[in-house]
Amino acid sequence: MYQWKRFEFFEEKSGGGKICTIPAEITGKIECCSSGRGRIILGCNDGTVSFLDRAFKLTYTFQAHTSSVLFLQHLKQKNSLVTIGEDEQASPQLSPLCLKVFDLDKMQPEGSSMTSPVCIQILRIFTNQFPEAKITSFLVHEDAPPILLISIGLETGFIYCIKGDIARERITRFRLQVEASLENTLSPITGLGYRVEGKALQLFAVCPTSVSLFNLHEQPPKRQTLDQIGCNLNAVAMSDHLELIIGRPEAVYFYEVDGRGPCWAFEGEKRFLGWFRGYLLCVIADPRSNKNTFNVYDLKNRLIAHSMVIGEVLHMLCEWGNIILIMNDRKVLCLGEKDMESKLDMLFKKNLYPTAVNLVQSQQADAAATAEVLRKYGDHLYGQQDYKGAMSQYIHTIGYLEPSYVIQKFLDTQRIDNLTNYLEELHERGQASKDHTTLLLNCYTKLKHVEKLNKFMKGEDEVSERKFDVETAIRVCRTAGYHEHAMYVAKKAEKHEWYLKILLEDLGRYQEALQYISSLEPSQAGVTIKDYGKILIEHKPTETIEILMKLCTDTRESNRTTSNGTYLSLLPSPMDFINIFVHSSQSLMLFLENYVTRVKDSPAQLEIHNTLLELYLSNDLSFPSISQENGVDSHDAYVDSSREVNNGSMKESKKKSGVESQDNEKQRNRQERFQKGLALLNSAWTSDMEHPLYDLDLAIILCEMNAFKDGLLFLYEKMKLYKEVIACYMQAHDHEGLIQCCKKLGDSTQGGDPSLFADLLKYFGELGEDCSKEVKEILTYIERDDVLPPIVVLQTLSKNPCLTLSVVKDYIARKLEQESKLIEDDRMSIEKYQEDTASMRKEIHELKSNAKIFQLSKCTACTFTLDLPAVHFMCMHSFHLRCLGDNEKECPECAPEYRLVLETKRNLEVNAKEQDQFFKQVKSSKDGFSVIADYFGKGIVSKTSIVPEESLQTGSS
C-alpha cells in the first residue's frame, strides 16, 4: 500500500475561509450524531438534540431526553428522528433507557417554552423478557413506512430487535444472539449493517471476535458465521454495493453474504471507518506520534485520493456531498471532492494517463469526457511512438472522437496495419462512412489481405452486411480488380445494376448476364435491361430478344391469354425498351415483329405499328448479317506482299463484284421490307375499320420520303383521295395503271367518282404525245357516264397536237345522233305541252265567261235524290247542305287531293329558301340545268318578292 500514489482530490470546505466549530450554544458533550435532509443532528449528554445548517449554524435545539442522548438516527424516507437516551426513572424496577420517535414535520404549538418537534412514541427498550445491558450499537431500517426495524446491539452479545409501526405501538420484539468466542467472555456488538436484496432482509453483526449474518426473512432468523475475526467500535461501515467493511489494525476486510471478500492491508489502528461515493474513509491512529491520519482511498484505481494529519476525531459523517469530521476540540473539518477537470489536470501533469482513464471510468463520467481522456492518452502514446498502444486507446473513442483525427495520424504506409484495425472497428460499430469503407478496402488491397477482404465482404451474419456502404465497397473492389468480391456484394445486396455493370463492362460475360437477368423478378429485370440492353443487343441479340418477349408477353404463365387487354396493360410495353435498339435496327424490327405476331391487341399497338413502318420503309436500315456473310475472314485476308503485286487487278475485280453483290442484296432486302410495310398497312386498316392502327400522317410522310408508291396508293385510296391516286400514276407516267385505276375508282355504280375521267382526259390532252389508244378507251367511259359535254371533250383534246380527228370521230358521231334524238323528243314534248296549255286556257275562259249548268240529281255523299237546300261545286260535285256539315267552302271529294298539292307547294317553297340544299343538289347532279329548270317548273324560284337590299347582297355573296 505504500506504493500507492497520493493525490489531493479533496480540499477543505470552510465557510469564508474560517475554521468551522460547533456553535457555543451547544454546551453539552456530543455523544452521537446523524445527518439527512440538508442538516446535521447532534445528540449531547445533557439530553438535548441540536440541528445545524450547512454553515454549521444552530437552527434550533430541543430537549429530547432528561439525562443523555446516547444514539440517534435521522430517517430518510420519512422526516423523523429516532433516539435512545436516559430519562427519569418512573420506578426503580424500570430502566432509565428508552427509545423515542420524533416527527420533525410537526412542532409543538405556539406558547411552548421552546421549539421542539412532536414526540409520537416512547418505548421502553428493556423488559422482563429483554434484560437490561449496555447498548453498544444502534441501527434503524425503514422497511415500508411507517414500518421500522430497529436493531440494538448490546454489550452481552445480544441484539434486541423491534419491528412494526412504532408510532401506533403495533410492534413485535425478538432477540438475536451472537455466540461468544470464549466461554464466560462477553462479546459486545461493535457494529451492525443491513443488506436488502429484493424481498430478502439480512443483518450483519460484528463483534471483536466474529462476523455474523442473520437472515431476517426466516423465522426464527438463521445465523451464519462469516468470519472468526471482528473489530472494535466505529470501525464498521457499509459500502454502496451493500458490502460490510470492518477495520482491524492489520487490514480492512470486505464481506459478502457468502463470506470474506477482498482484503486491503492498511496498517494502523482504525479509529473510524466510512464510505463516500466509492471512496473508503479511514481514520488511522499512529501510536508512535499520537497523531491520527485521515486517508481517502480509491480502491478501484489503487490510489490515495487524500491524506492529512488530524487530531482526535469524535464522529465522522457525510452530508451536502462533503465529508464532515467532528473533532475532539469541537472543531469541524469539512472536505469536498474536487471537480473532475481538476483531478484530471493533476494526473495529466504527471503523465498518469492510465490512472486518469481508470478514474473517469470508475466515477461513471459521461462518455464524451471519457473519450477525451482516452484521446489524450492516445496522443501521449503516439508521441512516445507506441502506435499500437495509441491505436488501442483511439479505438475506445469511436463514436465521440472525429475519425479523421485518428486517420490522419496513421496514413503513413508504415502504420497502415494500425489504420486497418481502426477502420475495421469503425465498421464493426456501425460508425463508418463511405470514405471509411473506401479507405479500408484500399488498405486490404494494398496489403494483399485477401482473407480479411473475404471476411469483410462475405460475412454471413446479417449484422456484417450493414457494416459498410455497399456501393462504395463495390466501386473500390471493382477499381482494384477484385471483380468477384464486388459481384458477390452486389448480388447479396441486390444491387443488380452493379452486378451487371461488372459482368458486361469489365468481364464481358454476356451469357451469364442474360441468365442473371432471367432470374430476376419481372419488374427488376425490366429496369436492368433498360440500362444494359444496348450492350446485350450488340453481342447477344437473339437471347436478349427472348428475354424481352418474356417480359412483354409473360409467356411463363400459360393460363394467361394474350387477348386479355386488361392483363396486357399491366405488362411492360415494347416501346419502353426501344432505346436499347438505337444501334441495332434489325434486332428492333425482329423484336417488334415477334411481338405483333404473338400479341394482337396490345395497348401500345399504334406506337408499335408506327415504329415498324419507319423500319420497313427506311432506306438505311443496316443488317449485321450482311457484313458477316460478305466479310472476309482474317485468315483469308492474309496475302503475301508478292501475291498482292501480281494479283492486284484480280483483287480489284473481286472487290467490285463484292460491292455489286452487296448492293444487290441490300436492294433485295429493301424490297422485302417494302412488301412487309405494305402488308402492315393493309392488315392494320381493314375494310371494317373506321381508323387505321397507325398514325396516318406519319405513314404518308414515310411513303413519300422513301418513294414507296404502293403504300401511297393504298393510303390515298383508303382516304378516298382519288385525285391524289391518279396523280401518282401520272407522275410515274404509268398510262396502263392510270386507266385501270380510273376504271376502278371512277365507276359510279361502285361508289366511284366519274369526274376522274375528266382529269384523265385533261392529262392526255396536255401530254404532247400520241395517246390515241388511251383516249379512245377513256372516251368510252366518258360517254357511258356522260361525264363531259362533247364540246368540252373537243376543247380538251385539241391541246394535244399529236391527236387527230379520227380519235373522236366515232364519239362525235354518236353524240350528234344522241343529241338529234333528244331534240326530236323535246320537240314532241313541247307540242304536247302546248296543246294541253291551250285546252286549259279554253276551260278557264269558259268558266269565267259562260254559266255552268249542274245537272246532278243525286247527292255525291249520300247518293239520295238531291233536294234543296243543296250546294254545287265547280268540280261538278253536288251535296245536300246537311251532308256537308260545317265545311261548306270545299268539296269533300276533291279536298284531300287539293290539300296534298298545296302541302307539296308549301314544302317546296320552304326548301327553296334553304340555299345550301339547292346548291348542293345542283353540284351533285350530272345535269345542273335540269335541277334549276325543275325549280322553275314548280313555280318556286319564279315567284317575285320584295327582299331587303342587305338580304340580296348576302344571298348573292
pLDDT value of residue 628: 36
| pLDDT(296) > 60 | yes
Q: Above pLDDT 90, what percent of the chain?
A: 18
In sequence order, the 6+-apart residues with CB closer than 8 A to the CB of 223 are: 176, 177, 178, 212, 213, 214
pLDDT higher than threshold 70 for residue 16: no
Phi, psi of 631 (to 5 degrees): -70, 160
- Whether 366 maps to a domain, the answer reads no
Q: Which amino acid is at 611?
A: T
Please say whether the beta carbons of 912 and 941 come within 8 A.
yes
User: ∠ at Cα 335 (334, 341), nearest 5°?
Assistant: 150
Q: What is the pLDDT of residue 648?
A: 53
Query: Which of 612-626, 640-654, 708-722, 813-827 comes out lowest in average pLDDT?
Result: 640-654
Is residue 249 reached through a cis peptide bond, with omega within 30 degrees of 0 on the bond before it?
no
Q: What are phi and psi of 767, to 5 degrees?
A: -70, -40
Nearest alpha-carbon partner for 7 in 323, 340, 262, 246: 340
Residue 145 lies in a domain: no
Mean per-residue pLDDT, 217-241: 90
| Helices 895-913 and 915-924, packing angle to 10 deg | 90
Cell numbers for 101: 420517535
pLDDT at 955: 33
Residue 121: CB partners within 8 Å, gap ≥ 6?
Answer: 100, 101, 166, 167, 168, 169
Range scoring the smallest mean pLDDT among 377-386, 392-401, 786-795? 786-795
Pair 36, 56: CB distance under 8 Å:
no
pLDDT at 951 over 70: no
Q: Residue 406: enclosing H or E segment and its boundaries? A: helix 403-409
Q: 30 pLDDT band (50/70/90 cuts)?
A: very high
In a domain, 896, yes or no: yes
pLDDT average, residue stretch 643-667 = 62
In sequence order, the β-bridge partners of residue 212 are: 205, 225
**867 in a domain, yes or no?**
yes
Cα 382 from Cα 741, distance rounded (Å): 101
Contact indicator for 265, 280 with CB cutoff of 8 Å: no
Residues 6+ apart with CB under 8 A from 71: 32, 43, 83, 84, 85, 135, 138
> What residues does 336 pair with on adjacent strands?
11, 322
Residue 901 inside a domain? The answer is yes
Domain annotation covers residue 263: no
Which pLDDT score is estimated for 202?
92
Say how far apart CA 160 and CA 174 lie, in whole Å.
6
pLDDT class for 193, splitting at 50, 70, 90? very high
Chain centre to alpha carbon of residue 748: 68
* Torsional sign, CA 915, 919, 924, 927: positive
Q: Rounded distance, CA 137 to CA 158, Å?
A: 11
Q: What is the pLDDT of residues 921-931, one digit of tens each?
A: 777 776 677 77
557: pLDDT confidence band, cut at 50, 70 and 90?
Answer: very low
Beta strand pairing call for 870-872 and 331-337: unpaired
Residue 223, SS3 per DSSP: strand
pLDDT in tens, 773-821: 777 777 777 767 667 777 777 777 777 777 777 777 777 888 888 889 9
Compute the distance between CA of residue 400 and CA of residue 405 in angstroms, rounded to an integer: 11
pLDDT, mean of residues 649-657: 59
What per-residue confidence (pLDDT) applies to 461?
45
- Higher pLDDT residue, 523 or 735? 523
Does residue 836 surpass a pLDDT of 50?
yes
Would you call 130 helix, strand, or coil by DSSP?
coil
Q: What pLDDT is attached to residue 656?
A: 64
- Between 416-428 and 450-457, two packed helices, what is the crossing angle to 10 degrees? 10
* Rounded-to-integer distance, Cα 148 and Cα 166, Å: 7
Burial of 619 (0-12, 13-18, 19+ CB in 10 A): exposed
Average pLDDT taken over every residue of the chain: 80
User: Rounded mean pLDDT of 909-916?
Assistant: 70
Q: What single DSSP character describes residue 505?
A: I
Query: Three-state SS string across 523-551, please?
Result: HHHHHHHHHHHHHHHHHCHHHHHHHHHHH
Q: Decide which of 448 and 391 is more confident.
A: 391
DSSP string for residues in 702-734: HHHHTT-HHHHHHHHHHTT-HHHHHHHHHHHT-
* Angle 738-741-746 from CA coordinates, rounded to 5°: 120
The arithmetic mean of pLDDT across residues 386-415, rounded, is 86
Residue 652: its pLDDT value, please? 61
Is 653 buried (19+), middle (13-18) or exposed (0-12) by CB count in 10 A?
Answer: exposed
pLDDT value at residue 515: 82
Structure-model confidence comparison of residues 783 and 401, the more confident one? 401
Per DSSP, the three-state class of 671 is helix
On whether residue 260 sits in a domain, the answer given is no
Check if the beta carbon of residue 227 is closer than 8 Å to that of residue 253: yes
C-alpha cell at 682: 393493309
pLDDT, residue 953, reads 34
Contacts of 119 (CB under 8 A, 6+ apart): 100, 101, 102
Kindly report which listed range (172-186, 334-348, 738-752, 784-798) carries the lowest average pLDDT score.
738-752
The whole domain housing 879 covers 857-914
Q: Which three cell numbers stand for residue 301?
A: 484505481
- Angle of helix 709-718 versus helix 696-705 axis, rounded to 10: 150
Q: Kindly tell me if the per-residue pLDDT of 37 is higher than 80.
A: yes
Pairing of strands 303-310, 5-6: parallel
Contact in structure between 457 and 481 (CB atoms under 8 Å):
no
Distance separating alpha carbons of residues 854 and 620, to the nearest angstrom: 98
Question: With bands split at pLDDT 50, 70 and 90, how would you rate the model's confidence at 946?
Answer: very low
Alpha carbon 778 to chain centroid distance?
Answer: 76
Higher-pLDDT residue of 504 and 565 is 504
Predicted pLDDT at 957: 27
Q: Is the pLDDT of residue 115 over 80?
A: no
- Is there a domain that residue 863 lies in? yes
Question: Is residue 893 very low, low, confident or very high in pLDDT (cuts 50, 70, 90)?
Answer: confident
> If we measure between CA atoms, which residue out of 602, 590, 582, 460 comes closest to residue 533?
582
pLDDT over threshold 50, residue 623? no
pLDDT at 493 over 70: yes
Spatial separation of the C-alpha atoms in residues 648 and 651, rounded to whole Å: 5
Residue 406 has pLDDT above 60, yes or no: yes
The answer, yes or no, to whether residue 247 has pLDDT greater than 90, is yes
Q: What is the pLDDT of residue 742?
A: 78
Contact yes or no for 580/573 (Cβ under 8 A): no
* Interval 525-546: pLDDT, tens: 888 888 888 888 888 888 888 8
Q: What is the distance between the alpha carbons of residues 68 and 98, in angstroms, rounded to a whole number?
A: 11
- H/E stretch holding 70 reads strand 68-74
Q: Which residues of 371-410 are buried (b: 16+ CB within 10 A; e: fewer)?
A: bbbbbbbbbbbbeeeebeebbbbbbbbbebbebeebbebb
- What is the length of the chain? 957
Question: 135-139, 592-596, 611-615, 707-711: which has the highest mean pLDDT?
Answer: 135-139
Q: Quick check: 639 pLDDT over 50?
A: no
Q: Is 5 helix (H, G, I), strand (E, B) or coil?
A: strand
pTM above 0.75, yes or no: no
**Number of Cβ within a 10 Å radius of residue 174:** 15
CA distances from 438 to 427, 484, 669 (A): 11, 17, 54
Residues contacting residue 531 through CB under 8 Å, at least 6 positions apart: 497, 500
Domain count, the chain: 1
Direct distance between the N- and C-terminal alpha carbons of the chain, in angstroms, rounded to an integer:
130
Query: Which segment of 99-108, 251-260, 697-706, 879-888 scores lowest on mean pLDDT?
Result: 879-888
pLDDT at residue 226 in the model: 92
Residues β-bridged to residue 99:
84, 123
The dihedral built from the CA positions of residue 483, 486, 490 and 492, taken in this order, carries a sign that is: positive
Q: What is the pLDDT of residue 563?
A: 46
Q: What pLDDT, in 10s, does the model give residues 721-766?
A: 767 777 777 776 777 777 777 777 766 665 666 667 777 677 777 6
